[in-house]
Amino acid sequence: MTREEFLCEFRRIVNRYTKFVISGHIKPDGDSVGACVALALFLKGLDKTVCVVYDGASERYAEVAALAPSFEPGEGYEVARGEFVFIMLDCCEPKRTGGAQGFFDPAVTSLCIDHHVGGEAYAMYHYVEDTASSTCEILYSLFKQEGIEVTADMAKALFLGVAFDTGGFRHSSTTADTFRMAAELKETGVDSTRIINSLFHTRGFKESKVLSAVLRKAKLYEGQIVMSCMEQKDFLALGAGAEDAEGVVAYLAEIKEAEAAVYLREIEPGTIRVNMRSKEWIDVAKAARQFGGGGHIRAAGCTVEEPMLLVKQKILDELKKQLPMGER
């Protein structure tokens, strides 16, 4: 639906209902957490009953997540008694919210705001803007269009999201509008240096060990595709968990020769999570869609239920299709 159509329904729903449950995708990243918190704070400012559901949120975003009431799946269901609205941010498929998907069917209505294309529209009202750098950028532009005041805490949450999804304003998705948004949020008092340092320049000891292992296991294929695979046993040997590997694909993408970077993680035997990045001309979203995933041209992912070696070869074969004929 168009922006104007979505905003019309959004206004109607906010005016009519008093209870809202908000969720992002499972293992929410900075954009997902930031968008959920910013929208929750806006609704709380209207004296609405609102709660955010996080399934597997990282401690990295705890400071911002704490700005809005939240609970893990299985807790705090009193907010959902009676009529309530379910809102999905940074994803549009209920199953991708993990433990929060149980709120979808009982909700009186549902909305979705996202910047990823390719997913099926499950929500009653569904707005996707794939040219935006992040869901937080979309949300900020909607707030501005509606004349909604962005408080200091809302600004902090929104800045977290846009900074995370643009890789600290380095990714090609960063536009002039993105910089304008960041500047306007900065003017509200956002400590941009602290947020960016916490996202990209601060790493725990276990995270450092995992990054070292990922880089050590990386291999270069066709002179342009960098790939690293981590199995459960690798994490056990390091005394670390999957959460300690968040964002490692970005470091693989920094390798000079890498047109495409791929990080494969074994969730459990026979289930592999794939994260991909590219620089100039490989469309990683196209590759991800072949395995039921999606994302953006330069950043995408999927989960494949096959053994690691088979997934590795299939992903490589898919990416190699996009290499120039003389370089395959």
In the listed set 200, 218, 237, which residue is the last one of a domain according to the structure? 200
Strands 109-114 and 125-128: parallel
DSSP-derived letter for residue 187 is T
- Cα–Cα distance measured from residue 278 to residue 48, given in angstroms and rounded to the nearest whole number: 42
Last residue of a domain, one of 172, 200, 228: 200
pTM: 0.88
Question: What is the predicted pLDDT for the residue at 325?
Answer: 64
Note whether 54 and 72 are within 8 A (CB).
yes
**Residue segments in the chain with a per-residue pLDDT below the cut of 70:** 73-80, 118-119, 325-328
Decide: 113 and 139 in contact? Cβ < 8 Å: yes
Q: Name the domain count of the chain.
A: 2
Looking at the fold, whether 160 and 227 belong to one and the same domain comes out as no
pLDDT at 116: 85
Please tell me whether residues 161 and 31 are part of one structural domain.
Answer: yes
Q: Are residues 173 and 224 in the same domain?
A: no
Identify the domain containing residue 174 by its residue range.
3-200
Same domain as 275, residue 310: yes
Whether 172 and 28 map to the same domain: the answer is yes
Question: 171 and 154 in contact (C-beta within 8 Å)?
Answer: no
Which candidate, 89, 99, 111, places its Cα nearest to that of 35? 89
Write out the H or E segment, with its range, that includes residue 22.
strand 19-23
Residue 172, pLDDT score: 86
Residues 175, 107 share a domain: yes
Are the CB atoms for 159 and 194 separated by under 8 Å? no
Q: Does residue 116 share a domain with residue 58?
A: yes
Residue 243: predicted pLDDT: 87
pLDDT value for 327: 58
193 and 229 both lie in a single domain:
no
The answer to whether residues 102 and 117 belong to one domain is yes
Whichever domain contains 295, its CATH number is 3.10.310.30
What CA dihedral angle connects 149, 157, 251 and 281, to 10 degrees? Answer: -30
Residue 248 sits in the same domain as residue 185:
no
pLDDT value of residue 328: 55
What distances in angstroms separate CA 28 from CA 124, 215, 326, one per listed residue?
Answer: 22, 24, 40
The answer on 182 and 65 residing in a single domain is yes
Residue 78: the pLDDT is 64
Which CATH number fits the domain that encloses residue 172?
3.90.1640.10
Tokens of 125: 């009202």
Please count the residues of the chain: 328
What is residue 69's predicted lDDT score, i.e. its pLDDT? 85
Boundary residue ending a domain (155, 176, 200): 200
- Both 236 and 250 in a single domain? yes
